Structure 1
Amino acid sequence: MDFDLDEFIKRYRVHPESVSYLKETAVNPVHHSDLTVERARERRLFLAIKYGGDVEFEGTIKDLMIPSPYDLNGIPVTTYQPKSLGISSAPTLLVYFHGGGNVVGSRRTHDIVCKIISKKAECIVVNVEYRLAPEYKFPANQNDANAAVDWVMRNKHLLGGTHKSKVGVGGDSSGGRLAAIACHEVPGIDFQILIYPGAGYAVKFPSNEEFQHGPDMSNEVLNWYKNHYASDEDFLLPRTNLLLQTSYSNLPPALFIVAELDRLRDGTCAYCNKLSEAGVETDLLSVEGTTHGFFALPGHFKECCAKAYDRVATFIQSQANSLTFAA
């Protein structure tokens, strides 16, 4: 069953930014079953360039390779250090993982995202280029994520921080899941920002059925990403499923951001509830009338993103001023 945009707009209170985006992208509809991986990556970059917008960033941007026990070539990262950091004696660092279903996306597609966060929160952002499937299937990207976070925490001084600097993790969609799992596997992370990460492919929630035909992540799209990333058995493992963890009590404070009209909404909320019930400090922002993927396209979703990015900046600054989290 194809997605019916007119019916969707009639049924839900869809934000005008979401309506215009869905109408524009519906002009040349894409069927993932016909897409090669290369073409999907090109399309994701095209959307980022067209709808990502631009931001004036005053500060230092550097590309570097950080060592990894999982990849002898190292992990490429881009760091963003805003000029306003000069007022802080222990600037906060955020390690950010882009979304893209473990298959598409890159540092380039999320360059604007990282610039905005760095500028608004006055923090150093580390934008990670982890390995993608299908060339590198699960658990390559999670291993890269963990290695990047571990290295940043041990080398804060090389990135503009000090030994007192807080280090948090964040990401959108699949990148949010990488950040969340890293908090279970890498000790010492101070906070986490999880933007519609879902809970895992193996767990179904009402929103999965509600939005199974779209708008942004139909069953066809979801299965395309799943098949490229891992096996059915892998999706039953705790490393791919946030609701199969053995413990939730020793995790850092978490900010969750969900899109109201997103099939990953309920899974994200379920994971947030798990943390809250375990005594973890949590904050949840639901952006009304918007759909999956909006956070990475701030040039188009101006109003929706303003709410989300302001909450991210406020959360980072509140964590910078709090006592150091100890797992």
Structure 2
Amino acid sequence: MNGFWSVIFSAGFVATIIRVTTPIIFASMACLIAKKAGVRNITIEGTMLVSALAGVVASAYLKNVWLAVLIGMLAGVGIGLFLGYFHIIMDTDIWLTGIAINLIANGGTVFAMFAITGDKGSTASLASLTVPNINIPIIKDIPILGEILSGHSFFTYLAFISVIIMYVLLYKTPLGLRIRAVGEYSMAAESVGENSNRIKLIALALSGMFASFGGMFMSMSYASRFVRDMMAGRGFIGIAAESMGGGHPFGAAFAAAIFGVADALANVLQSFSIPSELLLMIPYLATIVGLVLYSIRRQEAEKKRIQKMRQSNTVKEG
């Protein structure tokens, strides 16, 4: 037990939390921007899978990691636009379309991997590249702090920066205003000349881009290869984090960090005599508990709002 607590309160554990939170933050930002435009993008998991494989394969053949990242990003954007075409242009059901894309991505990545490598499990036979880690000058030499903050993947720093970027984009730019206007009441936005379909497509393209970063982190930083089903539900956990965060970038990032703690805790407990099946459940149990608590909090807030409205109406009538 002493060994457990020494690990929990170590700098390495905090660094692990930061690392495993990365893909969840990207997934939550991807869900957030689409939701702000009035589109529920549930294809985050599938987008992450496709981009993860695209990045690995591109890096193996092109031998340029940044060009591979660009290709992986374009794959994510393409899926976002693909969803947008069927839902917005063809008027298909968003949930059925999203489920179909996730299923296609799940099976399609395995098929593509087998076609390229002859292996249905991983791309271990490919000499793929990884995105470099970044050692922050000065901070890397500071005891404890350097171990926590320095030496992470480029994608990890990008994930936390993306939270600020998302906030600025949504609340400080004309595009963000248009996205929120279309999401809240598209007919009102169209009445002043906005093309709501175009704004939704832009939001879905950006959503696919953020999701692609999360996928490529998993295959080009967290691991050095693509592995079948390697997202392990992180895309869906990101959707839950966005909901728990109340539709705000900082709230979603905080919720993602909570899930990151659960994921890191599961990793730590692997060294103890605890059934692996139970450990695999921890992140998903945390998701369920988090959503229940969020639902309770939202219901309480709604009750208070209704009560306040009733009191206000009573005062006016009196």
Tell whether the structures are fold-level matches, with TM greater than 0.5. Answer: no
- Sort the TM-score into its range (normalised by shorter chain): under 0.3
Please give the TM-score of this superposition, normalised by the length of structure 1: 0.25
Structure 2 length normalisation: TM-score?
0.26
- The higher relative CO (CA closer than 8 Å, separation ≥ 6) is in 2
Rg comparison, structure with higher value: 2
Q: Which has the higher strand share?
A: 1
